[in-house]
Amino acid sequence: MRGLDAIHADLAGLYRDLHAHPELSFAEHRTAAEAARRAREYGYEVTTGVGRTGVVAVLHNGPGPTVLLRADIDALPVTERTGLAHASTVEGVMHACGHDMHTTCLLGTLKLLADARALWSGTVLGVFQPAEEIGRGARAMLDDGLYERFGTPDVVLGQHVGPFPAGMIGAHPGPAFAGADSLRVVLYGKGAHGSRPEASVDPVVMAASTVLRLQTIVSREIPGSETAVVTVGALNAGTKDNIIPDEAELKLNIRTYKPDVRDKVLAAVERIVRGEAAVAGAVREPDIETVDTFPVLVNDEGAVARTMAAVGAVIGADKVLDPGAVTGSEDVGLFGTDAQVPLCYWLFGGADPAAYGAAFAAGTLDKDIPSNHSPFFAPVVDPTLTTGVTALTAAALGWLDAR
Ligand SMILES: [Zn+2]
Ligand SMILES: [Zn+2]
């Protein structure tokens, strides 16, 4: 991509700096300030504090389409174990999902587009979104008037780094990332001495029975042609062998791709939780609370075709694949669905191609290639950075008018 060589060293330095200074969701103050400072320097009108810690950078460059380019900027509560020289300097916080790479690539693209403004016409909206990891940042920016204040875009483009060979791009039309719902359930029993079960309503048994019954939702209630995942990731009750506790807590994570399947699973969860509590003789109704919710990410078919044609023309059509739908989740979908704007969100590889090839040949991908959220997740700076900047810039130019 023209102009990239000249800024590459600066971007690689920025990436390492962001990686060393990760910030949790809605606490991305340093990252947001750096994104704002750079975008202003590149010639963008910058607004900070959109959706708490979000940043919007606008470049009006004549008549034409408005293209929204989105990067998420937050990190995770993970203790880094990569041993890299640019590893996290913040105890217990790590860019384990690569959002530092997304932020760097977006800044690189904003710089290249500003420098090439004689070649295109339209408006670029650079959106640095906070709090993706807790599923609240996109909603916060939209609720803070993102589209009312800065204009509704004609397309939303964005990208996520993943554990496949750097240099490759993956995009799937239609439902591409699962919807996710995280629930917290509290079951109420009646505590007693462990020697006197007759004086108790045992929430441990109630919880055990509930977990087993929840695992019949996917196998017995969802058609074989549909996809759903129900995971009980936490089951907490009690303190000691001879005390029957008062209550038990379950934490559930549910993944689905279609609204009707999601409604069916959520209704079944509620029915089973309440039903098992009633059968056990619970002293009061269980609490069922939604902790996080990510809608399904639906990629517009036309937008994927147009965007990937533009990307493939620059990086090579053989570098662009369709990886199918993934069970991960992303709140970028809201920028599309909220205002019926077509969305194209793709994956780009972050694994060292040689290491990936060797692990693939040895059948040890799961062991040797760390995935997102692992304390060992660390994209190789190149060709990940070059590919990410090139793909995002080519995608934007594929939607902006040529001059
Ligand atoms: Zn993540
Ligand atoms: Zn992520």
- Domain positions in the chain: 4-176+296-402, 179-294
The rounded Å distance from CA 161 to ligand 1 centre is 10
pLDDT, position 1 = 82
Q: What topology is assigned to 179-294 in CATH?
A: Alpha-Beta Plaits (3.30.70)
Ligand nearest the Cα of residue 161 is: 2
What is the spatial distance between Cα 241 and Cα 235, in angstroms, rounded to a whole number? 16
The rounded Å distance from CA 403 to ligand 2 centre is 35
What is the spatial distance between Cα 339 and Cα 153, in angstroms, rounded to a whole number? 9
pLDDT, position 343 = 98
The rounded Å distance from CA 76 to ligand 2 centre is 9
Contacts of 223 (CB under 8 A, 6+ apart): none
The rounded Å distance from CA 130 to ligand 1 centre is 12
Assess contact for 93 and 76: CB atoms under 8 A: yes
The rounded Å distance from CA 71 to ligand 1 centre is 12
Ligand nearest the Cα of residue 77 is: 1
The rounded Å distance from CA 73 to ligand 1 centre is 11
| Of residues 201, 203, 178, the one with CA closest to residue 273 | 203
Ligand nearest the Cα of residue 100 is: 2
Judged by DSSP in three states, 114 sits in helix
The rounded Å distance from CA 196 to ligand 1 centre is 46
The rounded Å distance from CA 235 to ligand 1 centre is 23
pLDDT, position 234 = 96
The rounded Å distance from CA 197 to ligand 2 centre is 47
| Of residues 265, 233, 260, 254, the one with CA closest to residue 181 | 254
The rounded Å distance from CA 398 to ligand 1 centre is 28
The rounded Å distance from CA 360 to ligand 2 centre is 24
Rama region for 63: left / alpha / beta (φ>0; ψ in -120 to 50; rest): beta
Place of tokens 């972050």: 350
For the chain, 403 residues long, give each residue's pLDDT as a single digit of tens: 889 999 999 999 999 999 999 999 999 999 999 999 999 999 999 999 999 999 999 999 999 999 999 999 999 999 999 999 999 999 999 999 999 999 999 999 999 999 999 999 999 999 999 999 999 999 999 999 999 999 999 999 999 999 999 999 999 999 999 999 999 999 999 999 999 999 999 999 999 999 999 999 999 999 999 999 999 999 999 999 999 999 999 999 999 999 899 999 999 999 999 999 999 999 999 999 999 888 899 999 999 999 999 999 999 999 999 999 998 899 999 999 889 999 999 999 999 999 999 999 999 999 999 999 999 999 999 999 999 999 999 999 999 999 9
The rounded Å distance from CA 394 to ligand 1 centre is 25
The rounded Å distance from CA 151 to ligand 1 centre is 28
| Of residues 188, 217, 183, the one with CA closest to residue 291 | 183
The rounded Å distance from CA 3 to ligand 2 centre is 28
The bridge status of strand 66-72 relative to strand 155-165 is parallel
CA angle 47, 48, 51 (to 5 degrees): 110
Q: For domain 4-176+296-402, give the CATH superfamily.
A: Zn peptidases (3.40.630.10)
Query: What Cα–Cα distance (Å) separates residue 256 from each residue in 15, 95, 153, 164, 272?
Result: 33, 26, 28, 24, 18
The rounded Å distance from CA 297 to ligand 1 centre is 14
pLDDT, position 10 = 98
The rounded Å distance from CA 364 to ligand 2 centre is 23
The rounded Å distance from CA 139 to ligand 2 centre is 16
The rounded Å distance from CA 373 to ligand 1 centre is 6
pLDDT, position 346 = 98
pLDDT, position 327 = 86
The rounded Å distance from CA 401 to ligand 1 centre is 33
pLDDT tens for 301-356 read: 999 999 999 999 999 999 999 999 998 899 999 999 889 999 999 999 999 999 99
> Which 8-state DSSP code applies to residue 94?
B
Ligand nearest the Cα of residue 374 is: 1
The rounded Å distance from CA 333 to ligand 1 centre is 15
The rounded Å distance from CA 366 to ligand 2 centre is 19
Query: What Cα–Cα distance (Å) separates residue 124 from each residue in 28, 57, 344, 394?
Result: 23, 8, 16, 13
The rounded Å distance from CA 184 to ligand 1 centre is 20
The rounded Å distance from CA 347 to ligand 1 centre is 13
The rounded Å distance from CA 162 to ligand 2 centre is 9
H or E segment to which residue 359 belongs:
helix 353-362
